[in-house]
């Protein structure tokens, strides 16, 4: 129990203080309390399962995987072992853990990307890492190095698609098609091999990067692509994009179906 005599002495000291001195003392005590609370929270965070040594990811091992699930990819993007760190285990800590809250935020972005066919349930490592970079999510350099060491291209399919479409637009412009003609005729002067390669790039990346279904009579892919091109300063109207999507469909194998696009 507190010493009554000391309590009385402290009480008298407080009564003798000016308002400014009391306010300063209160502020000091609050600051001390906050720092102590932060230390306790940091200690508790460090003791949780996802901060133990065994929760550190083995990037070399996971870089060998042919694909990552979304949960695995998110754990790896935060440097954690997917075998131990996953959403089911982290969900109870979201309100009290910065790490769990960060995982939840990334998971929300990934789920929305899935709903727009920008990510699948399972993705090749390079594809997920390209999406993460495009979305502005930090990823351990060691993970990037491990994947690159396997010779896996970390490809941003949408950027590659934009480049392919822009290349065709540039070739048409050189030929004198002009911007006033939104749907010009095929460019006969293009070398057959280059044209076929560009068409393959277009249809492949439209399917993989934009979730495009070439079998559908009408989709919103052309509008989405035109919008992305505009954001990147590459002017190409929706009708022109739609025209090239239709032409690119010709290079697909005859047995292509929407359910084998992944």
> Against a cut of 0.85, is the pTM above it?
no
CB count in 10 Å sphere of residue 61:
10
What is the residue-averaged pLDDT of the chain? Answer: 81
Span 221-246, mean pLDDT? Answer: 80
pLDDT of residue 172: 63
Q: Is the pLDDT of residue 221 over 70?
A: yes
CA–centroid distance for 229 within its chain: 19
Q: What is the DSSP letter of 252?
A: S
pLDDT at residue 187, rounded to an integer? 44
CA distances from 56 to 53, 128, 136, 140, 152 (A): 6, 20, 22, 12, 22
Residues 1-10: pLDDT tens digits?
A: 678 888 778 7
pLDDT digits 0-9 by tens, 159-209 = 666 666 667 666 666 666 544 444 444 444 445 767 777 788 788 778 877
Structure tokens at 31: 């600051």
pLDDT of residue 157: 59
68 pLDDT band, cuts 50/70/90, is very high
Beta carbons within 10 angstroms of residue 178's beta carbon: 10
**Cα–Cα dist 23/14, whole Å:** 11
- Identify the weakest region by mean pLDDT among 37-51, 85-99, 174-188, 207-221: 174-188
Beta strands in 92-173 (DSSP E): 122-123
* 17: three-class secondary structure by DSSP: coil
What does the block give as tokens for 81? 């072992």
The ranges assigned to domains in the chain are 4-47, 53-149, 157-260
Q: Among 46-50, 105-109, 169-173, 234-238, where is mean pLDDT lowest?
A: 169-173
For 195-207, how does the pLDDT look when each residue is reduced to its tens digit (9 = 90+)? Answer: 777 788 788 778 8
Residue 70 reports pLDDT greater than 70: yes
Query: What's the mean pLDDT in 100-129?
Result: 91
Half-sphere exposure for 4 (CA within 13 Å, toward CB): 0
């Amino acid at each position: 129990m507190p010493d009554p005599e000391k309590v009385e002495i402290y009480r008298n000291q407080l009564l003798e203080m000016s308002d400014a001195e009391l306010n300063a003392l209160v502020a000091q005590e609050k600051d001390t309390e906050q720092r102590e609370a932060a230390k306790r929270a940091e200690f508790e965070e460090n003791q949780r399962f996802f901060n133990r040594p065994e929760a550190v990811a083995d990037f070399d091992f996971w870089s060998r995987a042919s694909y990552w699930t979304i949960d695995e990819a998110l754990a790896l993007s935060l440097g954690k072992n997917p075998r131990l760190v996953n959403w089911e285990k982290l969900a109870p800590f979201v309100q009290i853990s910065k790490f769990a809250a960060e995982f939840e935020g990334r998971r929300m972005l990934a789920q929305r990307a899935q709903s727009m066919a920008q990510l699948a349930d399972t993705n090749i490592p390079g594809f997920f890492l390209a999406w993460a970079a495009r979305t502005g999510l930090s990823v351990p350099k060691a993970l990037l190095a491990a994947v690159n060491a396997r010779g896996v291209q970390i490809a941003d399919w949408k950027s590659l698609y934009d480049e392919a479409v822009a290349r065709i637009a540039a070739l048409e412009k050189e030929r004198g098609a002009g911007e006033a003609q939104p749907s010009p005729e095929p460019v006969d002067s293009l070398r057959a091999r280059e044209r076929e390669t560009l068409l393959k790039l277009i249809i492949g990346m439209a399917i993989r990067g934009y979730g495009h279904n070439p079998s559908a009579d009408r989709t919103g892919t052309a509008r989405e692509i035109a919008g992305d091109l505009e954001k990147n300063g590459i002017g190409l109207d929706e009708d022109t994009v739609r025209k090239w999507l239709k032409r690119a469909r010709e290079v697909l194998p005859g047995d292509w179906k929407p359910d084998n696009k992944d």
